[in-house]
Structure 1
Amino acid sequence: MGITFGDNQYGKVECRLVRVDRDVDGTPGRNAIKDITVTTTLAGDFDATHLHGDNTGLLPTDSHKNAAHAFAKNGIGEIEDFGLRLARYFVDSIDTVKRARIRLEEHHWDRVNEHAFVRSGRETRTATITYDGTTAWAVSGIRDLALFQTAGSQFHSFLQDEYTLLGETGDRTYATLVKASWRHNHIQDGHDWATAYRQASDSLIDTFCTIRSQSTQQVLYTMGHTLLDTCPTLAEVRLHMPNLHHLHIDLSPFGMDNHEEVLYPSDRPYGLMEGTVLRDDAPAPGLAWW
């Protein structure tokens, strides 16, 4: 029986990078910052390196990091555009590279004055760009989106077996930490990524805040369905939603009632719901999710 070397890839993981833009909007002394994490992943003709130790076709991962730094000199802009520029550079400039995947995270800072900022506790914006020399795919997203309902959520009429202890409820607190990724139908130069991101994140938040929840599964599907309705250029959305429990604390030993006012946020174990909502006529994802 023979042995064959299979799929492989390599890259530089979590390159931290801050770009300061000086005198933005033509205002002297007014600066802006872009804080991102970049991960590069290259695939291609690297058999000789693995099988024979021949590194002549292998670009060092340190060069991946340096390329990201050098590309940032001309500005980052929207992270999807930055990822496209990097991916195209690796594939179009290096013969042994057949596919590049660039994963990006953007970390938000809120402006205090013209040149001072405070790190925001907001969610993290994400993007994954894949390019194979002919086609480019873009998956944008969001993670660490913390959402909380203090009322308006139910969970009842569920299946019960001999081990079921959970009681039914017609009103409960409900919290989650959303990770969502949405695949774009087509990529065109000049695409307004910032507006698309705001529309998508606003849709997710608005749906969560207004739905009368029967279960996390129902919320997940409704958020995905509404997002696709709101953003016609998206092909599908994938959602990862833990159910972050906030447990009742018994205050009766202190002679106090607790009407779900004082809660204990339990970090584990937790329920986890995941799902994909997609259009029936969505184009095939290709390498977008690989």
Structure 2
Amino acid sequence: MKKNCIFAATMDDITNVQVAEQGQLVLRTEGLIKRYGKRTVVNNVSFDVKQGEIVGLLGPNGAGKTTSFYMTTGLIVPNGGHIYLGDEEVTSYPVFKRARAGIGYLAQEASVFRKMSVEDNILSVLEMTGKPREYQLEKLESLIAEFRLQKVRKNKGDQLSGGERRRTEIARCLAIEPKFIMLDEPFAGVDPIAVEDIQQIVWQLKYRNIGILITDHNVHETLNITDRAYLLFEGRILFKGTPDELAVNPIVKEKYLGSNFVLQKKDFAKMAELRAHKWGLEE
């Protein structure tokens, strides 16, 4: 299979991630606190994400998950606590400085430039890398092919479907070669078929040794792609563990998932093989 396809992980890709684990970076928060007036919405929240894994931040409305997520991205300044990228403290860094350090961010809202073509959207980020033009154009073609954007590469941002827009946004984010990507509601505003497409993309990102922190109200689809998840409730972490552990925990079911929740797992590795065969990507 061609290695430049994000939808087709190989055993070599998986092995490379396992080898990289020894020297991987960790993005972590320690004791995050956020107050609005006299109300504490986040109270001593700590979590971590390693390169090559997908971690979810979950919780009902008002639990503090979105605030915790935005403090990690740099959109909200915490009243207390610390955020580290490896040994580097990034608590005071704004979003753009965190991006330079290796923390990419994809907003829930459409972030493509609506009046620019898909390829110009990606090039606009590549041009900020300061790398030679030849490299930029080669990287552009690689990302266009990788995310199956060939048919819409000349289309303007406001002509894209929800799934095409998400693929363009992720391709553009990868142009800066981030070590971590913060995904805010990646399944919002896309149809059910596109949700599975986006899941496949996100699942595959970890095989590029990219750490993913994801928050989304679609709990079932989120748990399907996460390696671990943190459940926030009333500003604190109520539970942390694997999706399977969350799905059967009685407290998690009582406070968040509901008694009838059943986690139906998808086999993304098998799906990748089927897609690769369907699209004729096998050499």
TM-score (norm 1): 0.20
Determine which structure has the larger helix proportion and give its number: 2
Structure with higher Rg: it is 1
Determine which structure has the larger strand proportion and give its number: 1
Q: Which has the higher contact order (CA 8 A, sep 6+)?
A: 2
